[in-house]
């Protein structure tokens, strides 16, 4: 018993220091209007494998905490959209979404092939370079008071389509990574896609009735109901070879109206806590000594895909009737990469070890540069 008590006291002290340290990093980032994500990653690098002072926190605890962080990030992202938003985006923004995918997936995929990676890790790197950070971009739009700007609807349409693309991309990649016979893989992909389509249909068609069932005046009941639903659907999604993160995202989409605002208020602190630990522990998995080798390529990819995102946002905003200044402003706003890129990289680290360091360096660069460059064009 004393030995167990000593183990837990050391664990609590270590976790307390980690979380307090993350709070300090968030305070440092706030005055400069940048995302704290790069600082969390750097802290993870400093205290992880090969870092300055490797920590020895419980692997099971940190893994579960990180997974919950991903689920809550995606759930809260889903809360930003309603079924009507999805319908409008699919109707009006499909051309911009196609251009976005073509311009931003290709650099990562081609880079993977040039590195002599197989098609699967190359496709994962393509996903890393393709997907913008909805979380960082939403924060930038809020801080700069740009939600009412003329270019913003076009940007939000692109972000919605990117998130929907992830609802297809992640399940397919998860099945391919799992391997198996061709017949089994085709069957698994089909089941995964049917599950996603079914949940999307329910979210768009019956989102309001579902929200009415969940709604309650008690914060405690809403918190337990929504958090439980996120974990339950995520677990079922994982069982069907659909990404658990996408399951959480679809739960967020299904909840709309006043209950969405109540759920966001209640779960935002949990999201911030677990999301911070997710980025920190991802950084811990990357050996800092592997970064110098990948930094030149990460920098090159960052420059190329910052340019392709600017072109994407510019084209979409101009197509929606914005003037040149507003279109440029929209393009620069889309540069940031973050949570989804890290989630995608996490899928393939076992298959291609260089993917983790490359993605970490790439996200570090653009999670810092994105918010800063978004302020350049006013």
Query: pLDDT by residue (tens digit) across 176-229?
Result: 887 766 777 777 677 767 777 777 777 777 777 878 888 888 999 999 999 999
- DSSP letter string, 232-263: HHHHHHHHTTS-HHHHHHHHHHH--THHHHHH
* Separation CA 315–CA 273 (nearest Å): 37
| Lowest-pLDDT choice from 181-190, 217-226, 265-274, 319-328 | 181-190
Residue 84 has what pLDDT? Answer: 66
Please state the rounded mean pLDDT for residues 142-162. Answer: 83
The stretch 326-349 carries a mean pLDDT of 88
What span, in angstroms and rounded, lies between the C-alpha atoms of 157 and 164? 11
Whether 155 and 333 have beta carbons less than 8 Å apart is answered as: yes
DSSP state of 321: T
Question: Which has more confidence, 146 or 32?
Answer: 146
Q: What is the pLDDT of residue 85?
A: 65
What average pLDDT score do residues 247-252 get? 82
275 compared with 132, residue with greater pLDDT: 132
- The H-or-E segment that residue 16 falls in is helix 2-29
Which two tokens mark 99? 């251009």
Q: pLDDT-based confidence at 5, cuts 50/70/90?
A: low
pLDDT category at 1 given cuts 50, 70, 90 is very low
CA distance 263 to 166: 23
Domain that holds residue 157: 2-374
Q: What is the number of helices (H) and of strands (E) in the chain?
A: 16, 0
pLDDT of 108 higher than 70: yes
Please check whether residue 71 is in contact with residue 230, taking contact to mean a CB–CB distance below 8 angstroms. Answer: yes
**Which CATH number belongs to the domain containing residue 19 in this structure?**
1.20.1530.20
Residue 240 CA to residue 242 CA, distance in Å, equals: 5
Q: What is the pLDDT of residue 297?
A: 95
Cα dist. 116→113, 122, 352 in Å? 5, 9, 11
Token pair, residue 246, equals: 């996408």
* Residue 247 clears pLDDT 50, i.e. is over it: yes
pLDDT value of residue 124 = 95
pTM, entire model = 0.78
pLDDT of residue 128: 96
Average pLDDT on 343-362 reads: 88
Highest-pLDDT range among 89-93, 132-136, 238-242, 318-322 = 318-322
Average pLDDT over residues 230-243: 80
In this prediction, residue 283 carries a pLDDT of: 82
Nearest-5° Cα angle at 142, 77 to 216:
50
Residue 118, pLDDT > 90, answer yes
Report whether pLDDT(3) > 60. Answer: no
Ranked by mean pLDDT, the top range of 45-49, 51-55, 58-62, 357-361 is 357-361
Asked if 365 and 299 count as a contact pair (C-beta separation under 8 A), the reply is yes
Coil, helix or strand for 286?
coil
**371, 105 contact by CB (below 8 A):** no
Beta strands in the chain (DSSP E): none
Residue 369: both structure tokens together: 């540069």
- Check residues 236 and 103 and name the one with the higher pLDDT: 103
Mean per-residue pLDDT over the chain, rounded: 83
What pLDDT does residue 75 have?
86
Task: Name 82's Cβ contacts closer than 8 Å, sequence gap at least 6.
Answer: 207, 253, 256
Dist. CA 44–CA 282, nearest whole Å: 7
Binning pLDDT at 50, 70 and 90, where does residue 4 land?
low
What is the distance between the alpha carbons of residues 199 and 211, in angstroms, rounded to a whole number?
A: 14
């Amino acid at each position: 018993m004393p030995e167990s008590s000593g183990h837990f006291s050391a664990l609590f002290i270590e976790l307390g220091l980690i979380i307090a340290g993350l709070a300090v990093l968030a305070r440092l980032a706030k005055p400069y209007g940048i995302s704290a994500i790069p600082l969390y990653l750097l802290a993870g690098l400093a205290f992880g494998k090969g870092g300055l002072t490797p920590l020895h926190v419980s692997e099971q605890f940190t893994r579960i905490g990180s997974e919950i962080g991903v689920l809550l990030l995606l759930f809260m992202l889903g809360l930003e959209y309603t079924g009507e938003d999805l319908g409008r985006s699919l109707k009006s923004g499909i051309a911009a979404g196609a251009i976005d995918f073509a311009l931003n997936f290709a650099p990562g995929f081609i880079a993977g092939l040039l590195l002599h990676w197989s098609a699967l890790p190359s496709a994962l790197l393509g996903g890393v370079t393709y997907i913008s950070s909805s979380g960082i971009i939403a924060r930038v739009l809020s801080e700069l008071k740009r939600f009412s700007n003329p270019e913003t609807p076009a940007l939000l349409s692109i972000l919605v389509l990117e998130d929907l693309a992830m609802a297809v991309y992640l399940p397919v990649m998860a099945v391919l990574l799992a391997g198996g016979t061709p017949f089994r893989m085709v069957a698994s992909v089909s089941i995964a896609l049917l599950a996603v389509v079914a949940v999307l249909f329910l979210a768009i068609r019956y989102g309001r009735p579902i929200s009415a069932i969940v709604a309650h005046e008690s914060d405690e009941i809403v918190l337990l109901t929504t958090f439980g639903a996120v974990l339950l659907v995520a677990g079922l999604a994982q069982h069907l070879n659909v990404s658990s993160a996408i399951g959480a995202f679809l739960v967020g989409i299904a909840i709309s109206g006043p209950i969405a605002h109540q759920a966001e208020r209640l779960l935002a602190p949990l999201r911030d806590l677990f999301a911070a630990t997710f980025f920190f522990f991802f950084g811990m998995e990357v050996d800092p000594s592997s970064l110098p080798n990948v930094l030149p390529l990460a920098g090159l990819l960052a420059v190329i895909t910052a340019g392709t995102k600017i072109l994407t946002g510019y084209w979409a905003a101009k197509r929606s009737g914005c003037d040149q200044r507003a279109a440029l402003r929209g393009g620069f706003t889309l540069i940031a990469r973050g949570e989804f890129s890290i989630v995608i990289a996490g899928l393939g680290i076992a298959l291609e070890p260089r993917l983790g360091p490359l993605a970490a360096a790439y996200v570090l660069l653009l999670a810092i540069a994105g918010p800063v460059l978004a302020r350049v064009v006013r």
